[in-house]
Structure 1
Amino acid sequence: MDIQYVENVKAVAAKTKRKRGSLYPHNRIALLFLAPWLIGLIVLTLGPMAASLYYSLTDYSILSAPSWVGLDNYIAMFATDPLFLVSLKVTFLYVFTSVPVKLIFALAVALWLNKGMRGLGIYRTVYYIPSLLGGSVAIAMLWRKMFGGDGLLNQLLLYVGIQAPDWVANPKYALYSIVLLSVWQFGSSMIIFLAGLKQIPAEYYEASSVDGAGKVRQFFSITVPVLSPVIFFNLVMQIITSFQSFTQAFVISNGTGGPINSTLMYSLYLYKKGFAFFQMGYASAMAWVLVLLIGFFTFLVFRSSKSWVHYEDGGK
């Protein structure tokens, strides 16, 4: 009896092995198609991340071999580097100012375009173009000229009798010129908002109109709750993007973060530490702090979403 049972088990195992073997060709084909992505993930993402984590624990100047210092770089950031805290303050001010204004402006334009006007495709294209061009060096240079002391904006204000300051050279206003540049790149968020608005059934608004609800009540009782998953998505994406902002601050401040460090964004300071002062170990540590910061604020948004993001199936 026991011998027969063992033989049956062996037979089942052999049959299972043959079945698995018959799937191997398909697995090999799948791996072949996945190979470019896997190679890119390992070589271009995981590998550099592991190297960066190692360098963050070393004193590494690029020109010499790294020497192990443990957590000294992380301790020095908060204990002995005042510019690190300045860059955090500037970045927080930039993020918490630009993201809400950008999303509100994008939603307002999307609501306007959702009225069913003629030539909607042309308007969508025109409003989306800044998102394609806004991150370029050329646009940042144009923005610096436009907000300079003798720039287009000041010329227009002077025409109506207003003597305006040099916006990019004044520490009170320099950062806000970069915020305006970020808000100007509202196109991608606007397109996503517009797609979400198109999915809201017209019956919702018709029924609320019968009940006597006005436009404001419809907006806060229908549009915002139904659109909340889209708002959540745009909010997360914009927070991540804003924390990594670099090009605008670099070009508008000529790479200095001035005037008086008023535009010293975190990414710009990280760049200066790594490639201007050749403190690559310190810059790597800053990069990992940035990863933790982005993860922390993204986590907060996800946790808060349980109370304000609503889905059609009732889930949160």
Structure 2
Amino acid sequence: MKSHASLHISKILLLLSVCATVLIINLSTGDIKSWSVITWIDIFGEGSTMGLMLILLAFIINSRPRGRVTNLLIIGLIGFFAATFQDVLDEIIELPAGYIFDDLIESVTAPVSVIILSYGLYLWNQEQVAINQRLQSKERFYREHSALDYVTDLYTALYMKKQIEREIIHYKNLQQPLSLMMLDIIDFDEFNRRYGDQDGDRLLAQVANILTMNIRNVDLACRFAGDRFIVLFPQTHLIDARIYADEILNALKNMAFKPDNASRSVFNECNISLVDHSAGSTAEELITALNTALEVNKQKQRFPTHKAA
């Protein structure tokens, strides 16, 4: 996964500046306590909280792009970290009586930071709701992060196999049909040789987007392998699946892809194959039937038969 840390250099510098400022003020105005009076269990507890704040900061800085939600989360965590850091320093450094710096950090910064962080978490939740709505055509019933393909943002063949097995059970128990479509990009290897792997990955991602935009909410599109994709049409007869497949092919035919080193758009064609529940009793058998049908279709396109006049 791409790291976003380079986008947040200013926030990392802010964290370091806050830590340095709190430490310098404490060292310049207070005296270090003797080892005998330091309560190490308190240092361990407060230090653990401070470490947790650092871990959360690292996750957010590394995984999130710029934006209002990210800013609120980071600023809230930095403020809370500063208050916790001051708690740790209070166990080590004795500040003069009546000095209010530590009270301001702990009693003002901490609650304000919690409010900022809470608002950021609320907005993050709203953001996730919107993302979940967009993911409806990319996942069904459960989310499995380890099975995600990061080129296309679709799930992989393993995830698809689990969903096919689920639909096979529905067919056996409730007699609900299912259909499958496999799709691959014609001459994708040649495209990669001509334009490069980076444009090849961009093309795969764009095909994935077209797929998800042209299937129903109940359907599922996954990347099978290389330039091959599978679409699951649950509770769908083959005759209806052919209609949906034609609509997907029409959308892909009109997709204008613009390689970085080309002056004109490229229009890529695709091969497809379709099977229904009658082609096998397991996910493996259905996928094998899809692959076989796709290879037959590719051979027909490569070596078409011509009728005599």
Q: TM-score range by the shorter chain?
A: under 0.3
More strand by share: 2
Work out which structure has the larger RCO, using CA pairs closer than 8 Å and 6 or more positions apart in sequence.
Answer: 1
- Provide the TM-score with structure 2 as the length reference: 0.25
